[in-house]
Amino acid sequence: MGAQQNPAGVLGNGKLATSEAARPGDTRSGTGTGTHPDTGTHPGTSTHPGTSTHPGTSGHEGAHEVFRRLTERPADLLRFATAGSVDDGKSTLIGRLLYDSKQVLSDQLAHVEQASERMGHDFLDLSLLTDGLRAEREQGITIDVAYRYFATAQRRFIIADTPGHEQYTRNMVTGASTADLAIVLVDARKGVVSQSKRHAFISSMLGIPHVVVCVNKMDLVDFDEQVFEGIVGEFDAFAARLEMPDVTFIPISALLGDNVVERSQAMPWYQGPPLLYHLEHVHIASDRNLIDVRFPVQYVIRPPASSVVDYRAYAGQMAGGVLREGDDVVVLPSGRHTRITGIDSFGSSLREAFPPMSVALRLADDIDVGRGSTIVRPQNQPTVSNGFECLMCWMSEHPLSRQRRYRVKHTTRSAMLGAIDVRYRIDVESLRRDEHVDTLEMNDLARVHLQLSAPLVFDSYRRNRVTGSLIVIDEASNETVAAGVILDTEVEEAPEAKSERSPNVRWQGTRMTRERRWRTLGNAGATLWFTGLPGAGKSTVAAAVEERLIEAGQPAFLLDGDNLRHGLNGDLGFDESARTENVRRTAHVALLLAESGTIALVSLVSPYAADRDAASVLHAADDLAFVEIFVDAPLELCEQRDPKGLYARARAGELEGLTGVGAPYEPPSTPDLVLGSDRETVEAEVERVMELLAARGLIRA
């Protein structure tokens, strides 16, 4: 944003002549809950530079190829949002993307030059291309969400330039809610700050499938590779605790243009593509859910009898799956079954419909279907319920009040909010929970339970971003006060996915909630997972920690691997699949103990990192603390100890598959605590474990 020098000699190049291009759209929402731009309009021509040496383009094109590339309109659309801390350079980056990809018209450039001069700059401030509000230009920050449109020969783009300040978190949620990709900017001088973590958490919460971390202002750290790698490691460590399936890191200088549109000559150590090339080629087609058919009905089309005889169709936008003529369907929430007899679009009939197409369906039977109904397949139905859990961002300046009436809007259906129970508020920097809250204020992120006056038809947000999201509206002011994403539901997983429960069963809930149980007992639950080679000392330390916790009044229980194989896991062998099942069963037992307010201490070799990660994810999905403790004793020391004679038997050929001798052990890459030094006593190791638990708020200090 507040750039300090002339970007790559821009002022010396004069005005940019791009008269053949259509003006990029610029739409700005009026509030933090504004609407998104209409994606159906776009420039009539693409303005990717004809002489570009950008990867994927040829430097020897004929006139016909150049004309075709500049006039053909790409069908593929990528929505992406930019986020970062204040002054990380979001608006400058977008301005650089537009400028270097020849998307800025001469009159726009002249206006920015004049504005730069009025502000006393001796350089062209590209951030002014998106910082359009007077308050933004005066303060040099982004306040509201600015939407910009541009296109290259490969793809069309809609950019949501979201604000970086914590005060405008709600604006980022609005701007990123429909994004296919998020760009998180990190200042190379400052590293990963609290706002970087907040934006990563929101990106994960909103289920954005692709995240690009742009380490900006590399020119101010002399393009140092070590600085870049340090930020990559720090961000990766935080992102490992979130659901972020695709994270890409790119070092850039938005001010100078390095690695934005063209490869940087100043960073030869970076072998990846520049940002624009990545945006043009990131694969998004598979991000759509084409398995679960979801068709929320928006409107019933029934023309006057004089124009079309007996025509009735149900209009809406496909939210998931593929519908074809002749398919058997069921209408929810009524549960009535029927069949599709036709699929109509504007001026024509279609054989099939898929997201995000807007179509009208004709049905075989005259049944009660109206706005708010959802058409699905009989064998693949979403949840129909008036109560569920969701993650919510409070967006109103007025805090949550039980005295006000709220309405929940979900797809095309609405219902009055009967009750809202705030489970906890989330500190996005530490990911810790504050359970001592009963209201929400602006920009708060929290897990809540909603009880509605009428049932909704929904999926979890992870499964479908359309049927898994909602907004909350104040009935008195008609203000959108909150946005939420629905958490995991009772919907059956796809057949190829392994189920973690028996068929035809439901979890039996009780009035005794976790918060109430822990508050009454005065204790919180957690799982401590001790891993290491056989003979490393896991059980010794874990047993000592158990004793120390119980003496301090904290319920604790040791789940020792050998003891579990005397009953629960007695039917398992020691091959790879059996070891995985051993960890899975143990993790579920530990989860139940932690839920009860007990600290479960698991002493298990658990040699495979993927199995330990699965145990961690299991706890994270239920918002329970999971602490991985690596007892890092070298193999030689373990063989010297050999308390059960296993190593001697393995070396003699009497025992096959012993971890460390006949089977591999994968040490944790980022454990929460490392023990096992032969120079440290058991008492000292116990003390370190207790200090870690106290620091994380799991026990009283």
Show which residues are catalytic. Answer: 606
Q: Where are the alpha helices (DSSP H) in 513-555?
A: 514-521, 538-551
Separation of alpha carbons 450 and 664, rounded Å = 47
Residue positions counted in the chain: 701
Residue with tokens 């460590």: 237
- φ/ψ region of 127 (left if φ > 0, alpha if ψ in -120 to 50, else beta) reads alpha
Q: Could you give the count of Cα atoms lying within 13 Å of 248 in the half-sphere of its Cβ?
A: 22
Of the candidates 454, 444, 489, the one whose C-alpha atom is nearest the C-alpha of residue 468 is 489
| Helix, strand, or coil (residue 598) | coil
Of the candidates 112, 95, 103, 108, the one whose C-alpha atom is nearest the C-alpha of residue 20 is 103
**DSSP of 377-401:** BTTB--EEEEEEEEEEEE--SSPP-
* Close Cβ partners of 180 (under 8 Å, ≥ 6 residues apart): 78, 79, 80, 208, 209, 210, 284, 287
* Close Cβ partners of 24 (under 8 Å, ≥ 6 residues apart): 43, 98, 103, 148, 149, 150
Separation of alpha carbons 507 and 235, rounded Å = 36
Separation of alpha carbons 527 and 634, rounded Å = 25
Of the candidates 314, 325, 319, 382, the one whose C-alpha atom is nearest the C-alpha of residue 354 is 319
**DSSP of 264-281:** -SS-TT--S--HHHHHHH
Residue with tokens 């002399």: 222
Q: Which two tokens stand for residue 329?
A: 């369907």
SS (H, E, C) 611-678: HHHHHHHHHHHCCCEEEEEEECCCHHHHHHHCCCCHHHHHHCCCCCCCECCCECCCCCCCCCEEECCC
Residue with tokens 């040099």: 140
Given strand 26-28, what is the order of strands in its sheet? 26-28, 146-151, 156-161, 77-84, 181-187, 210-216, 247-251
Identify whether the C-beta of residue 373 lies closer than 8 Å to the C-beta of residue 331. yes
Separation of alpha carbons 640 and 159, rounded Å = 62
Separation of alpha carbons 154 and 24, rounded Å = 16
Query: Residues of 351-381 as b/e, b for ≥16 C-beta within 10 angstroms?
Result: eebbbeeebbbbbeeeeebeebbbbbbeebb
Identify whether the C-beta of residue 505 lies closer than 8 Å to the C-beta of residue 578. no
